[in-house]
Each structure stands twice: as structure tokens, then as C-alpha cells.
Structure 1
Amino acid sequence: MHALSLLVAASVAVAAPARKPQTPAVTNIQVGPRPFWLVDQMEDSPLKTELAACSEKPIRHAPFFSISHRGGPLQFPEHSREGLYAGARMGAGVLECDVAFTSDRQLVCRHSQCDLHTTTNILLIPELAAKCTTPFEPATADSSATAKCCTSDITHDEFLSLCAKMDSSNPDATTAEEYQYGGPEWRTALYDNCATTIDHKTYIEITQSLGLQFTPELKTPEVEMPFQGNYTQEIYAQQLIDEYKAAGIPSSRVWPQSFLEDDILYWVQAEPAFGKQAVYLDPRVDTAAGYEVAVASMTDLYNQGVRIMAPPIFALLNASADGEIVPSSYATAAKNAGLDIITWSLERSGPLEPAAAEGEYYISTIADVITGDGDMYRIVDALARKVGVKAIFSDWPATVTYYANCLGFH
């Protein structure tokens, strides 16, 4: 490991600090240099001229259009208190908490139920590492290092004792310390100094204190359900909604998400006030056959009460013969059925290099017309003005916030 990794690995080995008090609402929105750098990278075009003309315009929150995806994971550990505030500071109008459950059935913010081995320092705490579904196994000449640690392996209090870190691992590691880091260099470890893990209730408190909107995602369980014999998927889905009710949060500010159609339909039927804003993270588009099924199903979903579809970016865009980025058949079908569209996740792919674009999940359908990072705003503009998306998740919300403020998307 290089010196920075050694320093950071040592820092995450310490116990998590005391929980920090909330700060006042964020009103001084700062997008930093990245949006301006992206505009500078663009080829000359009317869009570049439009965006450049806003360079000195005051920036405000984008009330809905800019959604903070896991906080600000381009630089901050995802689903950490620090990342959440970073997303707010960059003007996101909506903050996300991916919701998983612990062994004592408490809801916590984590992108996957079983990613603690790559997103926290659990492997450096022997008594908690011993509870992992699959304890750490070092790399050998014939196999990579492995581990699998789930929120459901530990209690709520044990989860909150962990440090959040950048999502990465080293497949060549022979020790748990070496396993901590192995991510791409463009996703920096600069702010990886024992970030604060949070539970769902804390996420609600912070987002409420900031006056922003909520989008909790009910993560698909990776353990057999019912969990512990009687914790059903329906109880899990209802518990998420109940925590907003208990906090006095109006349903109009909550946009619950799930990849499971049954979760969406449960909310539509059991909690219609929340269900009308439920966001279906459509997983069917990952295969050609599933994509066609999805396109054909839009009217049926609408008739069942679904109102918002949220596929990944690639499912909404195609490249035309003359090099333009245009709406896909999925985008057209959703709009024709009366469905709103949200999409994810901008800036998840890293630098938009032509050689890398072909294999990148989020931009695979437009890889032929990607020439570099300046195309980031071509993608945003196509989603906003051609597809007509309601909002965009981004790993660095400032990029979308700048566009929204410049061109009036709120």
C-alpha cells in the first residue's frame, strides 16, 4: 500500500468517534470547481455557451431535480453523516438513505445489506469481524481475498460503532488491513478518516433539520425472508414508512424506492399517501428481453398505481446516426403511459474516456458518441430536455445542481 493508504487504514482501525451534533440548515450552497471544469471540457456548442453564461450566477438548492446519491461518494464515504452534509452543501434538494436492517431489526443506511466488508472497518474489529457471514480469507496464489459482512450479522449499536469508508477492497490482500483499500484513484480516500455511520432515524433527523426531501431505498434482502422466522418483507417495508410517520414527516416529502415491484405495490395499496410517490428502480432493463418486457408494461404499471419509474441512465438514452443523444423506447413508453421518470447515477462511471465508455454500465447505450468528460453535460441535458426526467441522482450533486440553477430545472 502507498503511504496515504497506510495512513487511512490506521485511521479506520480506531473506534468510531462520539456522535456529532447536527449543524444548522445549509443555505450557502457551493458547487466548487467541478461543474466549471466540466463545462470547459465541452466542445463548442450552444449548450456550452448556455452553461458558461451562468458561471457567476448565485446557486441555490435544486428542490427536487438534484438528488444526492448515497451522499457524495465521488469523494466521501457513502451513507455517512459527512457525505450526507456534503450532498446538502452541493445543493441537492433530495438526500438518499439506502435502508437495510440489523440483527435486532433496526433500520440503518447502507447501500447493500452485505457490503460492510468493503464500506466499513468491520474487518479490523475482531469481535465484529467474527460475526461476519463469511470471515476474511486472505488471497492465495490461486484465489482472491474474500469476505462477506452484512448489517444483519450485527446489532444496531454495533453498526453505529463502525467507521464508514470508501467502498473498496484489495483482492490481493493477505491481511484485513490490506483488504481495506483497492478502489479507483478517481474516487479519493482523502476524506476517509473514520466517517460516521448513521441509522435511518438519524438520516430523517438530519434531512428534516436541513429542510430537504427524503428518498429512502428499501434494499433487497440478501438473507432468507422472513428473517429470523417472522420478519417479513411486508413488515420491513412498513417499518420504513412508519419511521416517517413517527417523525411527523408528511408523505409529500418522501419518495420511497425499491427494485422490487412487490414493494412498490405494497406501498401503493397499504400506504397510498406514500405509495403515490414510490419510485420503481426498474431492474428489468439489464437484459434485452427484460428491457422489452419493461417497455411493454408501462400502461399496466400505471393502472396498478405506479407513478414513477427509475431505470439507470443507459435505459433512457440512445445514440443517433448523426452522433446525437436521443430518448430511448423505454423513455418514450414511460412518458406515453403518463409515468414520471427519475434516473441514476450520474458520475458513477468515473472519467468519461472513449476507450472505457464501451464497458461502462451507466452509459453503455451511448458509448459510441462519448468523447470525454465534457459529455457529462450532454448527458444531463439529454435527460432533462429530451427525456424530461423529473430528477437525476448523482455521485457529486454539484454537477446537477449547477445545471438545474443555470437552466431553471427545479
Structure 2
Amino acid sequence: MHGKLSSLAVVAAATSLVAGIPLDRRHYPGQDYLVSLGPRPYYLVHNVSESPLKDKLVACENKPVGIQSWSIGHRGGGTMQIPEETVESTLAGARMGAGVLECDVSFTADRGLVCRHDICDLHTTTNILLKPELAAKCSIPFTPANATHPATALCCTSDITTAEFKSLCGKMDGFNKTATNVEDYQHGTPAWRTELYDTCGQVLTFPEWIDLVDSIPGYRNFTPELKTPPKAVPLPFNGYTQAQYARDAMNVFVQKGIDPSRVWFQSFTPADIYLWLNEFPAFGKQLVYLDEDGDTPDNFTVAVNRLGALKASGVSVVAPPINYLLTVGGPNNDTIVPSSYAITAKEVGLDVIAWSFERSGPLSKVAANEDYYYASIAPITYYDGQAYNVIDVLAQEVGIIGLFSDWSSTVTYYANCFDL
């Protein structure tokens, strides 16, 4: 374990001292750990149109802020500016008040479990291509751009061992498709993010991530996501099955003695959810079924219609993307309102978590950029302050129980303001 992790371990004892305090008492100031939001929430608040919502948000500008479990750190929670799935992003999300933190669980060639958003994203989220001995192991070696084809590469966690993975540096997700060498390929971060902190983010194994989150003062919960292997890594992988992968990941929590009430395990694969329900029933109430099957109008209708069956099968929490939950409505067809998906989920008794906030650039460009997360409301989305209109509808009308964000302070601010 590297120095940054081991230095955090010294606060584990202090964390254990608050373990018996009810959650609502842990989440407010008066402890040594100070939540820090930075300027972004205040920038967005002042960009909100004049309205009761703005009045409420402005009135909270000097309200003390604390840790909020409604605020979920996506890929750590500092992903807008800090390399994802790293110690640094996780600490940033925690410092911005996220009460639940995420690691996406992938596996290595020796079946180690590590934090990476995609099993095959090492070429865009780490410096693997700058390490010749590891670049040689990539599923698809780096190919420079030419007059007819962009630069390409495909490097997977399953290509290397856990020890080799730990030798990597995390970087901002992106690549330069016009690159003719691996050095230039490292760039390509969207202009509205930054490479200021792109200085060797410390990557994490899954067990290390659990220890890190458990050591952060103020008491945080866990929401790992078991990654569905891509076509490039078919299962069984050298005999490693999806079922064993799912068992191994859950057993890490069991072996570490983590209370199931602190764990919100996610998967897009129904078989994972049902295996956990059957084999790890103590974790069942908070298993999260990730739903992205409604991206076309026909599929959206199917996704809405199956929500009742999901509930009947034992699923308690469903997590769709933000755009599934919102649509355009109102008397003048110019208002953000809950979608049929949101209404149906509530009717059948499912809890809902949404993803992922602050993953988009300036909201004035969502229509032109065909942004995924605002697709259902793009025609009436014009300025950044509407970010808080979106959160307000999700919280007050849809009734979601948590919101993933790439910059946790924005969501933490709202959650504190409205005492969520």
C-alpha cells in the first residue's frame, strides 16, 4: 500500500468512534472533518433564473454544510477535474461532502479486483501506453493516426496483473485521435474539464478502496459497481465466470466485516443482482439495478413497462440515467417535469437513484453536442443555472434517494440546503 493510503489509516480509529452515532447526527458540522464546497455551487446558484428555488438556494449560501448520503461521488466524486477512480478523486468527493463513494470493479489477468470504470479503458484513463513493457500486453497495440484512420489502442485490466496495474498512474479520461505517437495520445481531455491535476493519480485495488473509504472521517458508505465485461473480454475468462466474479466482489465486504447497511452494490447485469439476492440476502435491500435499456423510444416503453416486474422479482432500487426521469411538459411545454419512467417507478414502489450529474459541459451546448444526460430536456436547456432546476425536479417531484455526480459539491450544496 502506498504512503497516501497508509497515512489515511491513522484516522480509522477516529472513524470507528462515530460508528455508533445515528446517521443524521454524523452529517453535520462540529466534527474535525470540514466539508468544503468551493466556488462552483455558488456560481450555479447565481445563474438560476429568478424564482422561489433561487431564493431558497441563495438563502442557504452561508448555511453550514456537512456530509450528505444523498450526494454520491461518481467514480470518486472529483472526476470533473481529477483523474477518476483514484485516491485523489475519492478524497475530493469526500471533502465535497459526498456521503456515498463509488468504485467500479474490474478484474485483472490474475483475478485481482481493481477500480476502473471500464475493464478496457486503461489506454484512455492511465499511462499504460507510456510503459513499453505493459503497452506490449494490450489487447490492441497503439496504432498512430494516418490520413484515413484515427489513432487507436485497447488496453484492458484483464491484460495485466494486479501488481502491474498498481504501477500505473491514473489520468484524465481522454485521448487525442489525431496522435501519431503515444505521448500525444495521452491528451484529449474535454476543454471544460482540466489537466491541472493530471499528475499521476494513485490507482486503487478494490480492497484498498474499501479501506480508504472506511478510513475517511465522518462515516461514508460504499456503492461499488460490478463492471459488465465488454466483447473484447468474453467470460468465462480463463475459467473465470460472471458468477464467480460477482461472488468474489461481494465477499470482499463480507471478509472485511463491513455492515451490509453501508453497501449499495450496483450492476447492469440482472444475473448479478439475482445471485446477490440469493447468496448474500443481508445485502439485498440496497442492491442497485442499473438500467440503460431505454435509449430508443421503443426500448424506453419496454423499460417503463418492466419496472413492476423488477419490483416483484425482489429488486428494491433502480438507477437509470437522468434523462430517463425527466421530460418536457407544463401548460406551455417549457417546463422540466417527471417522465413516465419516474412516475411508474414511484407507483410500483421502487427507490430511484440517478446518474450522472456534472458529466456534461456548459448547458448552453447540450443540444448542439447531443449530450446524453440532457437528451430528454435539451430543447429547453440553455444555461448553467438550470442544473439546479434539474436537481430540484429529481429531488422534489421524482423523489430520487441519491444522485451521482462528477463534482460532488454541487449536489451536496442542494442536499444541505433542503435537508435531504
Short-chain TM bin: over 0.9
5+ residue gaps, structure 2, are 16-31
Identify the residue that residue 360 of structure 1 maps to in structure 2: 371
Contact 1:358 1:368 in 2 (8 A): no
**Partner secondary structure for residue 65 of structure 1:** strand
1:43 maps to which of 33, 45, 49: 49
Identify the residue that residue 269 of structure 1 maps to in structure 2: 278
Q: Which moved more, 1:147-156 or 1:23-32?
A: 23-32
Identify the residue that residue 37 of structure 2 maps to in structure 1: 31
Amino acid at match of 1:225: L
**Partner secondary structure for residue 258 of structure 2:** coil
In structure 2, C-alpha distance between the alignment counterparts of 1:377 and 1:55, rounded to whole Å: 14
5+ residue gaps, structure 1, are 1-15
Residue pairs, 1:11-410, within 5 angstroms: 20-23=5-8, 24=11, 27-62=33-68, 64-71=69-76, 72-210=78-216, 211-222=219-230, 223-228=233-238, 230-320=239-329, 321-354=332-365, 356=367, 359-409=370-420
In structure 2, C-alpha distance between the alignment counterparts of 1:172 and 1:127, rounded to whole Å: 24
In structure 2, C-alpha distance between the alignment counterparts of 1:93 and 1:19, rounded to whole Å: 21
In structure 2, C-alpha distance between the alignment counterparts of 1:170 and 1:147, rounded to whole Å: 11
In structure 1, C-alpha distance between the alignment counterparts of 2:319 and 2:409, rounded to whole Å: 21
**Partner secondary structure for residue 300 of structure 1:** helix
In structure 1, C-alpha distance between the alignment counterparts of 2:346 and 2:190, rounded to whole Å: 37
**Partner secondary structure for residue 41 of structure 2:** helix
Amino acid at match of 2:83: P
In structure 2, C-alpha distance between the alignment counterparts of 1:400 and 1:355, rounded to whole Å: 20
In structure 2, C-alpha distance between the alignment counterparts of 1:255 and 1:97, rounded to whole Å: 11
Identify the residue that residue 9 of structure 1 maps to in structure 2: none
For each residue in 1:60-96, what CA deviation from the matched residue of structure 2 results, as whole angstroms up to 9, or x when unmatched?
000x200000121100000000000000000000000
In structure 2, C-alpha distance between the alignment counterparts of 1:270 and 1:348, rounded to whole Å: 34
In structure 1, C-alpha distance between the alignment counterparts of 2:360 and 2:121, rounded to whole Å: 19
**Partner secondary structure for residue 189 of structure 2:** coil
**Partner secondary structure for residue 284 of structure 1:** coil
For each residue in 1:165-188, what CA deviation from the matched residue of structure 2 results, as whole angstroms up to 9, or x when unmatched?
000100000000000001211110
**Partner secondary structure for residue 52 of structure 1:** helix
**Partner secondary structure for residue 363 of structure 1:** coil
Task: Identify if the C-alpha distance between structure 1 residues 333 and 358 changes in structure 2 by more than 3 Å, giving closer, same or farther.
Answer: farther
Contact 1:170 1:182 in 2 (8 A): yes
| TM-score, with length taken from structure 1 | 0.93
Contact 1:251 1:274 in 2 (8 A): yes
Instruction: Using the aligned pairs only, state the percent identity.
Output: 52
**Partner secondary structure for residue 361 of structure 1:** coil
In structure 2, C-alpha distance between the alignment counterparts of 1:20 and 1:109, rounded to whole Å: 15
> After TM superposition, where is structure 1 displaced by more than 3 Å over at least 4 residues in a row?
16-20, 354-358
In structure 2, C-alpha distance between the alignment counterparts of 1:356 and 1:135, rounded to whole Å: 35
Shift of 1:22: 3.7
Amino acid at match of 2:75: R
**Partner secondary structure for residue 299 of structure 2:** helix
**Partner secondary structure for residue 323 of structure 2:** helix
Shift of 1:18: 5.8
In structure 2, C-alpha distance between the alignment counterparts of 1:104 and 1:355, rounded to whole Å: 41
Contact 1:22 1:206 in 2 (8 A): no
Shift of 1:273: 1.4
Amino acid at match of 1:65: W
Shift of 1:209: 1.1
**Partner secondary structure for residue 286 of structure 2:** coil
In structure 2, C-alpha distance between the alignment counterparts of 1:46 and 1:105, rounded to whole Å: 53
Shift of 1:405: 0.3
In structure 2, C-alpha distance between the alignment counterparts of 1:322 and 1:408, rounded to whole Å: 30
Shift of 1:276: 2.0
Task: Identify if the C-alpha distance between structure 1 residues 178 and 358 changes in structure 2 by more than 3 Å, giving closer, same or farther.
Answer: closer
For each residue in 1:339-395, what CA deviation from the matched residue of structure 2 results, as whole angstroms up to 9, or x when unmatched?
000000001011111564661100100112212101000000010001000000000
Number of aligned positions between the proteins: 392
In structure 2, C-alpha distance between the alignment counterparts of 1:268 and 1:22, rounded to whole Å: 36
Task: Identify if the C-alpha distance between structure 1 residues 293 and 370 changes in structure 2 by more than 3 Å, giving closer, same or farther.
Answer: same
Contact 2:366 2:374 in 1 (8 A): no
Cα-Cα RMSD: 1.4
| TM-score, with length taken from structure 2 | 0.91
Shift of 1:286: 1.5
In structure 2, C-alpha distance between the alignment counterparts of 1:355 and 1:203, rounded to whole Å: 33
**Partner secondary structure for residue 231 of structure 1:** coil
Contact 2:5 2:212 in 1 (8 A): no
In structure 1, C-alpha distance between the alignment counterparts of 2:52 and 2:101, rounded to whole Å: 32
Task: Identify if the C-alpha distance between structure 1 residues 109 and 305 changes in structure 2 by more than 3 Å, giving closer, same or farther.
Answer: same
